[in-house]
Structure 1
Amino acid sequence: MTDLGTYVELDGRPAVRFERTFPHPVERVWRAVTEPGELVRWFPSAVQLEPRVGGAVTFSGDPYMEGSTGRVLAYEPPSRLAFTWGDDELHLALEPADGGCRLRLVNVLSDRSTAARNGSGWYVCLAELVKVLDGVPSRGPHSKDTVPWEPTYQAHVDAGLPSGAPIPDPVER
C-alpha cells in the first residue's frame, strides 16, 4: 500500500493530506483534476465548476453526497484549485517535480472523526487518478474494480487517523 496520507491540522482545522508524484506534465494533471470529463473517471462525484474564485461547484452522481454544492476558493491554472464541498474544503496544488508533477491533495474536514473514512476514500480515488493519467480504463472510485475500500479504511484506523464517523453502506457498480 502506498502512502496512506497524513492527518494534519490547518489553522486549527482537521485535515487529511496526500502527496503523489506522477510522470506526467503539470498541464496533463491539471486537466485531470479540473475538467469534468476527466474528473468523473476518478473523483467521487461528477463535478461542474465555474473556473473562477467564487464560482459555483455542483456535484452529482456520488451515491453518498448526491446533489451537494460548493464554491471555488482558489483557481490558479495550472497550479492551484480549491473549493468547498458541503462543510469540507478540498485543496489541490500542482508543481513540477522529478520530470513530472507533484500533486498535493488536502481535504479540510468539518469533523475530525471523518479523517480515516475520508482518507480511505481519497486513497481509492487517487489510485483511480493514476489509471486515468496512465491511460488505463477506469470506471471510477465507486466501481468494483478499484482498490478495496474496507482494508484501506482499516489501515487508516490502524495508522491512528481519527475515526468514528458513520460508514455508509457499500455501493456496487
Structure 2
Amino acid sequence: MTADLTGTFLTLDDGRPAVRFSRTYDHPVERVWQFVTDADELAHWFPSRADIDLRPGGTIKFGGDPNMEDSTGRVIAVDEPRHLSFEWGGDELRFDLEALDDKRTRFTLTNVLAAENTAARNGAGWEVCLAALDAHARGERFEGPHAGAEAPWKEIYDGYVSVGVPSGAPVPGMDA
C-alpha cells in the first residue's frame, strides 16, 4: 500500500522551507474558521490542545500532547475569517481560508519550518491530523492525531522521504 501524499515541500519567497496542504470543505468560511480557531473544534484534529487569544500578539497555550511538553506560542496575524498565523515550537503555522461560494471553503495550511530537515516528519504529522479534520468536517468520528500505533504516520513519513522531502529530524515519542 502506498501512502497518499497531499503535502507539498516548497521554499518561500523569503528563502524559508515550508510544507503546504490544501483542502476544500463543504462548509461556509465561517464554519471552517471555527475549525482552526475554537479550542473545542481544534481538539478534533490539531496535535495539541490550543487555547488561542485571537489577536495579533496574543498568546496560544498548547498542551495535552503526550509526546511534547506544554508550551506557548504567539499569534502573528488575524484576518477573520480568512487568515490566522502563529508561532509554535519555532515554526510558523499559517491558515488561509477562501470562500469558494456560500457553502464551500478552500483551506490551506502552510507550516513554515524552522529547520528544513523537519519537512518529512511534519508533513507526515499533518497528513494524519488533516485526515482527522477531513473526517470531522464530514461529521464522522475519527480517532485523529493521537491514534498512536494505529495511525499510518510511519508509512506516510517513509513516502515523503522516498520522494526526496528533507528528513532526519528527531521524531517526538519515537526517537530516544
Partner of residue 74, structure 1: 77
Contact 1:30 1:78 in 2 (8 A): yes
SS at match of 1:151: helix
Instruction: Kindly provide the CA deviation profile for residues 108-163 of structure 1, in whole angstroms up to 9, marking residues without a partner as x.
Output: 11110000000000011110001111111133311259641010101111121100
- For 2:36, the aligned partner's letter is V
Partner of residue 138, structure 2: 134
* Matching of residue 31 in structure 1 with residue 34 in structure 2: yes
The match for 1:58 among 61, 67, 75 is 61
The match for 1:94 among 83, 90, 97 is 97
* Unmatched runs of 5 consecutive residues or more in structure 2: none
TM-score, scaled to structure 2: 0.90
Which runs of at least 4 in structure 1 moved beyond 3 Å after TM superposition?
144-147
Q: Supply the distance in 2 between the matched residues of 1:120 and 1:18 (Cα, whole angstroms).
A: 11
SS at match of 1:110: coil
Q: Identical aligned pairs, as a percentage?
A: 51
Contact 2:16 2:112 in 1 (8 A): yes
Q: Supply the distance in 1 between the matched residues of 2:78 and 2:66 (Cα, whole angstroms).
A: 27
Contact 2:7 2:21 in 1 (8 A): yes
Partner of residue 111, structure 1: 115
Stretch moving more, 110-119 or 90-99: 90-99
Partner of residue 164, structure 2: 160
Output the aligned Cα RMSD.
1.7
- For 2:6, the aligned partner's letter is L
Contact 1:127 1:147 in 2 (8 A): no
Q: Supply the distance in 2 between the matched residues of 1:145 and 1:134 (Cα, whole angstroms).
A: 24
Q: What's the CA shift for 1:75?
A: 1.0
Partner of residue 9, structure 2: 7
Instruction: Kindly provide the CA deviation profile for residues 72-103 of structure 1, in whole angstroms up to 9, marking residues without a partner as x.
Output: 01111111000000211100000012651111
Q: What's the CA shift for 1:21?
A: 1.1
Q: Supply the distance in 2 between the matched residues of 1:97 and 1:3 (Cα, whole angstroms).
A: 24
- For 2:126, the aligned partner's letter is W
TM-score, scaled to structure 1: 0.92
Contact 2:67 2:173 in 1 (8 A): no
* Unmatched runs of 5 consecutive residues or more in structure 1: none
